[in-house]
Structure 1
Amino acid sequence: MRFVKARDYDDMSRKAANVISAQVIYKPECVLGLATGSTPVGAYKCLVEWYRKGDLDFSGVTSVNLDEYRGLQHDNPQSYYYFMNDHLFSHVNIDPANTHVPDGTIADADEACRQYDETVKSTGGVDLQLLGMGHNGHIGFNEPDDVFAKGTHCVNLAQSTIDANSRFFASRDEVPTQAYTMGIQTIMSAKKILVVVSGTDKADIVEKAFFGPITPQVPASILQLHPEVTVVGDEAAFAKIADRI
């Protein structure tokens, strides 16, 4: 596991975007596993800027996203389908047919998950998986549990996750309580993994996830077993591990 220190959020975003852009340049027809949430936004902004300058070409890229809220329509501004188009896809030359997000509009959870597993499998494998990390250590929407989930599944969101997401909705009643998410096995199958973390509120979970025991109660701790993980974090997020990296 490699740790890349950044000064602040903007520096973290640039450094993370550098890792992603290097993958796209090295393998123009790569498969990118993408994440949503507030942390990756800055990295996506950098990628869009570099594309507009002519430094990046996404025409051969395929993407698969980690997760989606169950029950949200694609045109809902809080859906991850909308998020990805708003922050990245509509601003670069990626082929929309090659962008994949779990379909939250499919009411049958088993069918939705089966379809997405088939979609991910059809790409031939993720070259670089981008991950954020929740305050409870969730990656994707794999919440703390007694076991590590394997494939795509429907998850009941933890109250801490619902609370964290409530700031994006007009009222707490609108916050989804379920989501479709890639499983841990799928995430761990990626050739390379890039984790982005920022802020003092992530310092505790960064220490637990990367220097604590490997346990499904801290889903991100499984990343300690992956052969090629890069963690890019700012000084605040790395505050409790600064002397160990």
Structure 2
Amino acid sequence: MEVIVLPTATATASLAADIIEHLLRSEPHPVLGLATGSTPEPLYAELTRRHKEAGLDFAHARAFMLDEYVGLPADHPERYAAVIQREVTDPLEIPVDAVHGPDGAAADPVAECARYEQAILDAGGIDVQIAGIGSNGHIAFNEPGSALTSLTRPKTLNARTRQDNARFFSSPEEVPRHVLTQGLGTIGRSRHLLLLASGEGKADAVARAVEGPLSASCPASIVQLHRHATVLLDEPAASRLQLREYYDDIWASRPSWQPL
């Protein structure tokens, strides 16, 4: 695990975009893991800028979503499939048939989750998984108490997560209670986990995930187990870290030959 603290969310987005650009330019069939929410928005904006202004090509990429709501109508603008298409894959011109997500309208959600888990495996796994962290320590929709080895499955959202996501809906009551989500074990199989956080509201969760005990009470603490995890934080999100001086020294001393 490498923890990198930069002054702003714009700076962390730029570094994250460097990592993804390297993947796109070095791999013939890159597989991206896409997250929704406000945290990755600056990253997607920077990738879109590079695509439009510098010709960064996504046509050869495939993408898998982290999660999806259950029960929203097919035309609902907050379905994660719609959000990802509108805000990420259409601007980046990733082919529609190369973008995959769990079907929140499936008649059998359990079978759908098994299908989706297998689809990720059949694609050869995810090269770079983009993820944020919830204020309660969740990653994707793995709420506190999630099994550390869990695979893609249906989950019930707790009240805090629904309240946090209410800003995307007309009222908290409209936020679905149930979701389909990649599991912590699924996320752990990605070859590179890129965990982003910004703002003081995430500082407690970040400190627990990065420096607290590995625990199901903070699902994002699986970042400590990941074989290649990069935690990118702005200053406010890093404000509760006890080892901040150490992280800064490691980053400042990073050799040019060490890849991100």
CA apart distance, 1:53:
1.6
Q: Distance in 1 between matches of 2:45 and 2:72?
A: 25
**Kept after mapping to 2: 8 A contact 1:70/1:176:** yes
Quote the offset at 1:223 in angstroms: 1.4
- The list of structure 1 runs, each at least 4 consecutive aligned residues, that deviate by more than 2 angstroms after superposition, is 146-149
| Amino acid across the alignment from 2:148 | F
Tell me which amino acid in the other structure corresponds to 1:131: A
**How far off is 1:172 after superposition?**
2.1
SS of the counterpart of 2:103?
A: coil
Aligned residue identity for 1:167? R
Which residue in the other structure is 2:145 paired with? 145
Secondary structure in structure 2 of the residue aligned to 1:75 = coil
Matched residue, 2:257: none
Matches within 5 A, 1:114-193: 114-145=114-145, 147-193=147-193
**Letter paired with 1:134:** G
1:203, 1:42 → 2: CA distance?
A: 18
The aligned amino acid for 2:60 is G
Distance in 1 (CA, whole Å) between partners of 2:95 and 2:184 is 27
Tell me which amino acid in the other structure corresponds to 2:163: D
SS in 1 for 2:124: coil
Aligned to 2:233: 233
Aligned-partner Cα distance in 2 for 1:65–1:198:
21
Map 1:7-156 to 2 at 5 A.
7-145=7-145, 147-156=147-156
Shift of 1:16: 1.6
Equivalent residue pairs, number: 245
CA distance in 1, matches of 2:146, 2:170: 33
Gaps of 5+ in 1: none
Deviation digits for residues 58-94 of structure 1 (CA, Å, limit 9, x no counterpart): 1110111110001123431111111111111111231
Counterpart mapping for 1:195-234 below 5 A: 195-234=195-234
- Which amino acid counterpart does residue 187 of structure 1 have in structure 2? I
Tell me the CA shift for residue 54 of structure 1. Answer: 3.5
| Distance across 1 between alignment mates of 2:130 and 2:28 | 17
Q: Write the distance in 2 (CA, Å) between the matches of 1:130 and 1:181.
A: 14
Taking the aligned partners of 1:107 and 1:175, their CA distance within structure 2 comes to 20
AA of the residue aligned to 2:172: R
Q: SS at the partner of 1:63? A: strand
* 2:73 aligned counterpart, secondary structure: coil
SS at match of 1:64: strand
Q: Is the 8 A contact 2:147 2:184 kept in 1?
A: no
Cα shift at 1:146 = 5.9
Asked whether the 8 Å contact 2:146–2:219 carries over to 1, the reply is no
Is contact 1:144-1:216 (8 Å) kept?
yes
TM-score (norm. length: structure 2):
0.90
Which residue identity is paired with 1:205? A
Query: Residue type of the partner of 2:97?
Result: A
Secondary structure of the structure 2 residue equivalent to 1:207: helix
Task: Using the TM superposition, give the Cα deviation of residue 149 of structure 1 relative to its aligned residue in structure 2, in angstroms.
Answer: 4.9
**CA offsets 1:11-58 (integer angstroms, 9 cap, x no match):** 222222222222111214111111111000110011111111243111
Q: What TM-score, normalized to structure 1?
A: 0.96
RMSD, matched Cα: 1.3
Instruction: State the match for 2:256 in structure 1.
Output: none
Distance (Å, rounded) in 2 between the aligned partners of 1:74 and 1:212: 40
Q: What is the SS of the residue equivalent to 1:140? A: coil
Cα offset, 1:238, TM superposition: 0.6
2:17 & 2:233 partners in 1: Cα distance? 13
Q: Secondary structure at the match of 1:89?
A: helix
